[in-house]
Amino acid sequence: MSELHVVFGAGALGKWTARELVRLGKRVRVINRSGEADRLSESVEIIAGNARDVNKNIELTKGATAVYQCSQPLYHEWAEKFPSLQKAILDAVAANGAKFIVGDNLYMYGDTNGQPIREDMPYQPHTKKGKVRAEMSDAVMEAHRAGKIRAAIGRASNFFGPDDMAVTQYAIRPAVEGKTANLLGRMDQPHTFSYAADFGKLLATLGTREEALGQIWFTPSPAAVTQAELIKIMEDELGRRVKVMAGGEMMMRFLGLFNPMLRESVEMMYEWTKPFIVDTSKAEKAFGIRPTSLSDAMRETIAWVRDEIAKQQTKPEGKMSMMPNKSI
């Protein structure tokens, strides 16, 4: 029997991590609240579990070679629930002696005023969620240095792709349906976009390469483009023009009066109003991972969206919410 790898979370990142681990020939177990997840290999074991339950986590990760933290609470509940959720998984990993691979984002670096973000930059969080992420990251690396666990952290910029319920759901899906694509901030500023499949590939790589431990790694991603350029890539794939609405801070504050997740987006607007560029060369050079081109990523994402729409038309009761659930 091949070694066991356990993934907490069955969102886009959890699924793509599981898929890459299956491709690498690993035995994979996915833990989420429902115990259900579609579009995964039949070889993947899917188990219902509450990631906050340390004792259950210990049971579910017993014998695992590596555990991947891809789960998260609702966007507006990060400060209250995220650190304790991660600690419950970390403590289980420590009890079982597995490797701990964390899926993370870039909030802790704060506003770099357009300076490219690199793994070794100091944390300068100036937002509530950035401070939460910095605290959680520090906890992981401190546990690694103390010998409590063996860990690595993988990070990505704003990502899209099949199974994603953020950029894909509020920008790409509406465009496929002939509706308005919803974006944030300015259309003329360069922004690094990551592809969900590449993020999952990075985490699976970190969990299967000993030399990755004790370090932070950025997901190999294509060169930064403006949101206008991303829309052009979308239009080329769709073969028609796309209507666009870019919400500014005032609009998001207003919409946030009615939606807590949109309200939480306001403090992150700096990512969309000036250059937001990520240097992902470290992982590319170390592991030989090449990012999926934005054209290929968009083509695959649109194909997935079309398939989802077709499935939901036959099951109206299963229609997805169009409300963004912010990605990791």
Decide if 327 contacts 161 (C-beta within 8 A): no
| DSSP 8-state code for residue 115 | P
Domain 4-158+193-218 architecture: 3-Layer(aba) Sandwich (3.40)
Length of the chain as a residue count: 328
DSSP 93-162: HHHHT-EEEEEE-SGGG---TTPPB-TTSPP---SHHHHHHHHHHHHHHHHHHTTS-EEEEEE-SSEE-T
Q: Residues 261, 326: contact at Cβ < 8 Å? A: yes
Q: What percent of the chain has pLDDT over 90?
A: 90
Residue 149 in contact with residue 94, Cβ under 8 Å? yes
260-to-21, 140, 245 alpha-carbon distances in Å: 35, 28, 20
Q: Give the whole-number percent of the chain exceeding pLDDT 70.
A: 96
Give the predicted TM-score (pTM) of the model. Answer: 0.94
* CATH fold label, 164-191+223-274+293-318: UDP-galactose 4-epimerase; domain 1 (3.90.25)
Q: Provide the token pair at 193.
A: 């976009």
- Whether the pLDDT of residue 316 is over 90: the answer is no
CA dist 183 and 252 (Å) reads 11
4-158+193-218 and 164-191+223-274+293-318: identical CATH topology: no
**What pLDDT was estimated at residue 28?**
98
> Is pLDDT at 321 greater than 80 in this prediction?
no
Tell me the pLDDT tens digit for each residue of 19-77: 999 999 999 999 999 999 999 999 999 999 999 999 999 999 999 999 999 999 999 99
324 pLDDT band, cuts 50/70/90, is very low
Per-residue pLDDT for 145 more than 90? yes
The DSSP H or E segment spanning 30 is strand 27-32
Instruction: Give the pLDDT band (50/70/90) at residue 307.
Output: very high
- Other Cβ atoms less than 10 A from the Cβ of 106: the count is 21
In this structure, are residues 212 and 152 in contact, taking their beta carbons and an 8 Å threshold? Answer: yes
The residue ranges of every structural domain in the chain are 4-158+193-218, 164-191+223-274+293-318
Report DSSP state, residue 275.
-
